[in-house]
């Protein structure tokens, strides 16, 4: 079986990127780089790496789709999507290649396989609080959704699931694809026996005893807008709709009054609400008014 990693870049840390590439090559994996950064980094990479540069930033969904297209054209069997801030090792890659094939053999209807995610902020496993995965045999779990980084996709399944939804641009892309796969009769398989160190968000801040993820202000636009867009869809789980819609006022208070760049955060949340209500998708357009 041929495995390839598709790494999506946006202003990456060079040391982390080059270290991950070295581990992938040592493990015998192919490497595809999709770079949404303004400046190309191709000159720092080996010529054997498949590199595509999109300096205008086409979004994570479109970048993943371009990478998957390259992987299919090169006749790989499995592709692992990776964010630039995940940390790889040869041992992890060897385990993932073996475990994902085993999972696919046990679950022929598998749309994707994902390792257990370990947060870089506290070195603890990231676990769902609601709708927890169902345990299966051999340390595998049936999940509602998994995040993009570390997600291994049997490329043949794309004929059933379709591509990532480019209109969402960034937030919610990974979960929406999983829910769509489930709607089409496929399963998402998690693994308790492999672990990927991953940085979710830019920071953490504790307010009134509750720890909140902190991201860049513009991400709030996509989060607010995409929650409203996805909440209209029948195949999106009801618990997700309720949890996220009910949390919008709290997120407004925390981001708009308790974090840095309060005014800018309120601006992006407001625009996200308006565009979500009016069903506007695609990249953020600052000049478009309601």
Query: Quick one: how far is CA 225 from the chain centroid?
Result: 17
d(CA 68, CA 163): 9
- Among candidate residues 198, 223, 241, the one where a domain is terminated: 198
The pLDDT score that the predictor gives to residue 210 is 66
> Is 69 within the bounds of a domain?
yes
Domain count, the chain: 2
> What is the band of 123 on the pLDDT scale with cuts at 50, 70, 90?
confident
Which residue in 64, 55, 57, 77 sits closest to 32, CA to CA?
64
**Residue 140 DSSP class:** E
**Are 126 and 204 contacting, i.e. CB atoms less than 8 angstroms apart?**
no
Residue 289 clears pLDDT 50, i.e. is over it: no
> Is 287 within the bounds of a domain?
no
> Is 288 within the bounds of a domain?
no
* Residue 156 sits in the same domain as residue 220: no
**Residue 256 DSSP class:** I
> Is 185 within the bounds of a domain?
yes
d(CA 99, CA 234): 32
Coil vs helix vs strand at 75:
coil
pTM of the model: 0.93
What does the mean pLDDT of the chain come to?
93
Instruction: Kindly state the average pLDDT of the residues 110-131.
Output: 84
> Is 284 within the bounds of a domain?
no
52 versus 207: the higher-pLDDT residue is 52
> What is the band of 18 on the pLDDT scale with cuts at 50, 70, 90?
very high
d(CA 253, CA 124): 27
The pLDDT score that the predictor gives to residue 85 is 85
* Residue 214 sits in the same domain as residue 273: yes
- Segment 128-180, tens digit of pLDDT: 766 678 888 899 999 999 999 999 999 999 999 999 999 999 999 999 999 99
The pLDDT score that the predictor gives to residue 2 is 98
Alpha-helical runs (H) found in 82-209: 90-106, 158-161, 173-183
Element of type H or E holding 30: strand 30-35
* Residue 143 sits in the same domain as residue 9: yes
* Residue 85 sits in the same domain as residue 174: yes
| 261: alpha, beta or left? (left if phi > 0; alpha if psi -120 to 50) | left
Token pair 């672990």 is found at 195
The pLDDT score that the predictor gives to residue 290 is 38
> Is 211 within the bounds of a domain?
yes
* Residue 174 sits in the same domain as residue 211: no
The pLDDT score that the predictor gives to residue 213 is 79
Coil vs helix vs strand at 279:
coil
d(CA 275, CA 224): 9
Q: Which residues contact 110 (CB under 8 A, 6 or more apart)?
A: 103, 104, 154, 157, 186, 187, 188, 189
Domain that holds residue 161: 3-198
* Residue 128 sits in the same domain as residue 209: no
- Among candidate residues 198, 221, 253, the one where a domain is terminated: 198
* Residue 80 sits in the same domain as residue 189: yes
> Is 221 within the bounds of a domain?
yes
* Residue 58 sits in the same domain as residue 142: yes
The percentage of the chain sitting over the pLDDT mark of 70, rounded to a whole number, equals: 94
* Residue 191 sits in the same domain as residue 247: no
The percentage of the chain sitting over the pLDDT mark of 90, rounded to a whole number, equals: 83
Which residue in 73, 24, 82 sits closest to 48, CA to CA?
24
* Residue 186 sits in the same domain as residue 228: no
- Segment 192-203, tens digit of pLDDT: 999 999 876 666
Total Cβ atoms within 10 A of residue 223: 22
- Segment 58-87, tens digit of pLDDT: 999 999 999 999 999 999 999 999 999 899
* Residue 82 sits in the same domain as residue 172: yes
- Among candidate residues 198, 219, 238, the one where a domain is terminated: 198
The pLDDT score that the predictor gives to residue 200 is 67
The pLDDT score that the predictor gives to residue 201 is 62
The pLDDT score that the predictor gives to residue 221 is 98
Residue 288 clears pLDDT 70, i.e. is over it: no
Work out whether strand 3-9 and strand 30-35 pair parallel, antiparallel, or are unpaired: parallel
> Is 289 within the bounds of a domain?
no
* Residue 98 sits in the same domain as residue 134: yes
> What is the band of 25 on the pLDDT scale with cuts at 50, 70, 90?
very high
Write the CATH number for 38. Answer: 3.90.550.10
> What is the band of 287 on the pLDDT scale with cuts at 50, 70, 90?
low
- Segment 210-253, tens digit of pLDDT: 677 788 999 999 999 999 999 999 999 999 999 999 999 999 99
């Amino acid at each position: 079986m041929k495995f390839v990693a598709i790494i999506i870049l946006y202003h990456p840390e060079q040391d982390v990127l080059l270290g991950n590439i070295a581990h992938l090559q040592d493990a015998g994996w192919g490497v595809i780089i999709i770079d949404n950064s303004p400046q190309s980094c191709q000159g720092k990479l080996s010529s054997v790496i498949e590199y595509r540069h999109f300096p205008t930033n086409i979004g994570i969904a479109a970048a993943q789709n371009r990478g998957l297209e390259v992987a299919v054209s090169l006749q790989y069997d499995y592709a692992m999507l990776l964010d630039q801030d995940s940390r790889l090792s040869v041992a992890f890659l060897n385990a993932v290649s073996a475990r994902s094939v085993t999972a696919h053999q046990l679950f022929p209807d598998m749309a994707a396989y994902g390792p257990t995610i370990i947060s870089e902020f506290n070195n603890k496993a990231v676990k769902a609080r609601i709708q927890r995965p169902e345990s299966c045999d051999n340390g595998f779990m049936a999940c509602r959704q998994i995040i993009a980084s570390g997600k291994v996709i049997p490329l043949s399944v794309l004929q059933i699931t379709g591509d990532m939804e480019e209109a969402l641009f960034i937030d919610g892309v990974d979960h929406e694809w999983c829910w769509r796969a489930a709607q089409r009769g496929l399963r998402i398989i998690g693994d308790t026996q492999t672990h990927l160190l991953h940085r979710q968000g830019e920071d953490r801040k504790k307010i009134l005893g509750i720890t909140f993820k902190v991201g860049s202000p513009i991400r709030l636009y996509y989060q607010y807008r995409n929650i409203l867009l996805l909440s209209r869809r029948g195949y999106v789980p009801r618990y997700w709709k309720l949890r996220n819609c009910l949390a919008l006022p709290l997120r407004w208070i925390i981001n708009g009054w308790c974090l840095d760049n309060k005014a800018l955060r309120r601006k992006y949340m407001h625009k996200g609400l308006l565009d979500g209500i009016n069903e506007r998708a695609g990249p953020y357009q600052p000049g478009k008014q309601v």
